[in-house]
Amino acid sequence: MTLSDHPASTPEHHPGHSPLLRAARGLPVPHTPVWFMRQAGRSLPEYRALREGVAMLTACRTPELVTEITLQPVRRHGVDAAILFSDIVVPVQAVGLDVEIQPGVGPVVAQPVRERADLDRLPELHPDMVPDVAEAVRALVAELGPTPLIGFAGAPFTLASYLVEGGPSKNHERTKALMHGDPALWHDLCARLAQISAAFLQVQVDAGASAVQLFDSWAGNLSRRDYLAHVEPHSRAVLEQLATHAPDVPRIHFGVGTGELLLDMAQAGADVIGVDCRVGLRDAVARTQGRYAVQGNLDPALLFAPWEALEGEIRRIVDEGQAAPGHIFNLGHGVLPDTDADVLTRVVALVHRLSQH
């Protein structure tokens, strides 16, 4: 798929010239674009009202809810992109895995994947398994007009960690034990998850998403040696499949605590490397050899600081971002639930004002 084939490519309805997509491609921008991870809800009272009594995965599979929740922060904050309201376990649930998101816990898998026979319960993902996702994306593209929609998926390692552990884990002991104890099964599991993630992203792009982000939330728990041997080939497979399928759609690659892996994650097939708040943007640019746009990286905890202190950090990050070929302002991780939504709106306005050319 080329840009001219994209569902949002008609002249009057085209996000391709938006600041976010231009920054992702390293092109001049009128201002530094802003969006926030976990911006679709979390801190918004209108989101909490809409979600009351509705399970997370039910909300993620209901197009009307997905559309409204995705649009809420765009309306309120004036961000430069929407991020599809979903969850990284949506595609594995779609292929038949028994998984639920427990409030205050996270994804919990009823039967963890730990033996060869368990892999048979995880078939490949086909577009007809997620028609609701495509429907929501098409509706959003129609509503958003020139504002781009970012699609997303979980990276194979992070998905595998949930599937093997059975839920969130601090130490990933079962995951690392399988990785080293049965590498053949590990690679087969990650290859299957790479197909699922790539297919899930392709569904979103085919329906109109203008950019995508691959979340490898737990990759920072790995040594660089383990990342390169056991994880990077599968993330590369996802990103390369998407590059072949939709070469004009920018690919953002993000992980938490991945300062030592930034160059490897970028070289896996990213156009933009996400940087968490543990690494300064100038250091991130140096570590990625100045060849990639960067995204980040305000510490989400600083949104609770007095405005004077917060403003100083925003100014520093906007300034440091100028060292990169392109800069997308974001948090170093997701919006915290108790964040004052009005502060987020002020952050967007300040970044736009500081960076106007």
pLDDT of residue 40: 80
73-82 pLDDT tens trace: 999 999 999 9
pLDDT of residue 357: 72
Please confirm, yes or no, whether 162 is among the known catalytic residues.
yes
pLDDT of residue 42: 79
Of the chain, the percentage scoring pLDDT greater than 90 comes to 92
Query: At residue 1, does pLDDT exceed 50?
Result: no
Residues 198 and 296: their CA atoms lie apart, in Å, by: 24
Q: Which domain holds residue 259?
A: 3-355
- Please, is 11 exposed, middle or buried when counting C-beta atoms within 10 Å of its C-beta (0-12, 13-18, 19+)? exposed
Task: Please count the structural domains in the chain.
Answer: 1
Please confirm, yes or no, whether 206 is among the known catalytic residues.
no
Residue with tokens 């100028």: 322
Looking at every residue in the chain, the average pLDDT score rounds to 94
Contact (CB, 8 A) for 32 and 329: yes
pLDDT of residue 103: 86
pLDDT of residue 10: 38
Side chain identity at residue 169, one-letter code: S
**Residue 2 binned pLDDT confidence (cut-offs 50, 70, 90):** very low
Pairing of strands 272-274, 82-83: unpaired
86-136 pLDDT tens trace: 999 999 999 999 999 988 898 999 999 999 999 999 999 999 999 999 999
pLDDT mean over 158-178:
95
pLDDT of residue 8: 39
Please confirm, yes or no, whether 87 is among the known catalytic residues.
yes
Residues 345 and 194: their CA atoms lie apart, in Å, by: 36
172-208 pLDDT tens trace: 999 999 999 999 999 999 999 999 999 999 999 999 9
From 42, 76, 192, 287, active-site residue: 42
From 47, 76, 80, 87, active-site residue: 87
**Residue 9 binned pLDDT confidence (cut-offs 50, 70, 90):** very low
CATH number of the domain to which 85 belongs: 3.20.20.210
pLDDT mean over 22-30:
97
Please confirm, yes or no, whether 61 is among the known catalytic residues.
no
Cα dihedral 258→262→264→265 (10° resolution): 80
332-355 pLDDT tens trace: 999 999 999 999 999 999 999 999
**Pick from 3-17, 170-184, 204-218, 297-311: least confident:** 3-17
Please confirm, yes or no, whether 51 is among the known catalytic residues.
yes
What pTM, to 2 d.p., does this model score? Answer: 0.94
Residues 259 and 275: their CA atoms lie apart, in Å, by: 8
Query: At residue 5, does pLDDT exceed 60?
Result: no
From 61, 76, 80, 162, active-site residue: 162
From 22, 38, 236, 287, active-site residue: 38
